[in-house]
Amino acid sequence: MIDREILLEKMKTSPYKPMRGKIIEARMLTDKEKFFRIQLEGKINLGHEPGQFVMVSIFGYTEAPISICSSPTDKGFFDLTVRNVGVFTNKLHTLNKGDIVGIRGPFGRGFPIDHMFGYDIVIVAGGLGIVPLRSLIRYITHNKNDFGNVWILVGCKTPAELLFKEETEEWMERSEIKINCTVDRADADWHGNVGLITTLIPGVDINPARTYAVVVGPPIMYRFVIAEILKKQIPEYQIIVSLERRMRCGLGKCGHCQIEGVYVCQSGPVFNYAQLKDFKGECHEKAV
């Protein structure tokens, strides 16, 4: 017979069992994206790395993978930003401050922070790609002496879809950060760049040997952005991308996220370009 105390202890630490997370802040960022700040039961830290994700569940409903958009240096809570694109995310958007969700994780491999210390960083965010990249940006700003200069290039379809506008203004005020934004279609109040995000890359002045480029966005963006970054002569292993391929379990058990035998939920979602360039599998749209 299994000892009851041992069984209960295993249940506490099982990656299959969700932790209870209380929503302590919830607000709409745009008409499609909602921001959630979550505190785990007992106010424990999630213990994630920038670039990882969690499986979020609504008890009695279902679960889905969501990228973490806060830094591990943000203590006592973690942040998620969710676009309303389907049945589960629509249900999640109905939740507000005080509601409870289930959290499994963190899962996956995050950005290679240890290798990036002392380097300049070029961050390229397309659309929702700014969500997981916010975790990296916040980590860098909280540890500014560990990194060189930072360029943040952001692209989205319209000014109304630009996420984290107030934080972007704060980042602009930092001497070590240079930010440039572009939109596909401007409105009457937009005075910035108009055009594809690739048009911003030639203007970045870097030492390629001492620079990491981190790219997150819709799959169609990667080919063209990486082509421009390679023109800057940044080594392939210093070009970092994040993929999320229809995650289901986060544990490499269901096989739903495989690309040529690679379990993205375990070996990724973060890869360097040298690892990724020979993949032939389709990279599905992210579920951040």
Q: What is the pLDDT of residues 228-284, one digit of tens each?
A: 999 999 999 999 999 865 666 666 666 666 666 676 667 658 888 998 877 765 443
When pLDDT is averaged across residues 128-157 and rounded to a whole number, the result is: 95
Q: What pLDDT does 10 receive?
A: 41
Whether the model clears a pTM of 0.85, i.e. scores above it, the answer is: yes
pLDDT band at 11 (very low <50, low <70, confident <90, very high): very low
> Which residue ranges form the domains of the chain, and what is each CATH number?
4-107 (2.40.30.10), 113-276 (3.40.50.80)
Q: What is the pLDDT of residue 285?
A: 38
Q: What is the DSSP string of the chain?
A: ---HHHHHHHHHH-TTSPEEEEEEEEEESSSSEEEEEEEEGGG------TT-EEEEE-TTS-EEEEEB-S-TTSTT-EEEEEE--SHHHHHHHT--TT-EEEEEEEESB---HHHHTTSEEEEEEEGGGHHHHHHHHHHHHHTGGGS--EEEEEEESSGGG---HHHHHHHHT-TTEEEEEEESS--TT--SEES-GGGGGGG----GGGEEEEEES-HHHHHHHHHHHHHTT--GGGEEEE-----SSSSSSS-TTEETTEEHHHH-BEEEHHHHTT--S--PPP--
Residue 185 pLDDT > 60: yes
The mean pLDDT value for 61-77 works out to: 93
Q: What percentage of the chain carries pLDDT values higher than 90?
A: 63
Q: Is the pLDDT of residue 78 over 90?
A: yes
The answer to whether residues 80 and 102 touch, using CB atoms and an 8 Å cutoff, is: no
Is it the case that residue 101 has pLDDT exceeding 60? Answer: yes
Higher pLDDT, 174 or 1: 174
Q: Do 241 and 261 touch, CB atoms closer than 8 A? A: no
The per-residue pLDDT for range 188-239, each reduced to its tens digit, is 888 889 999 999 999 999 999 999 999 999 888 999 999 999 999 999 999 9
pLDDT of 31 higher than 80: yes
pLDDT band at 1 (very low <50, low <70, confident <90, very high): very low
Q: Is the pLDDT of residue 32 over 60?
A: yes
Give dist(CA 34, CA 82) in Å, integer.
Answer: 5
Contact call for residues 28 and 6 (beta carbons, < 8 A): no
Give 65 or 243, the one with higher predicted confidence: 65
- Phi, psi angle pair for 3, to nearest 5°: -60, 130
The pLDDT of residue 189: 85
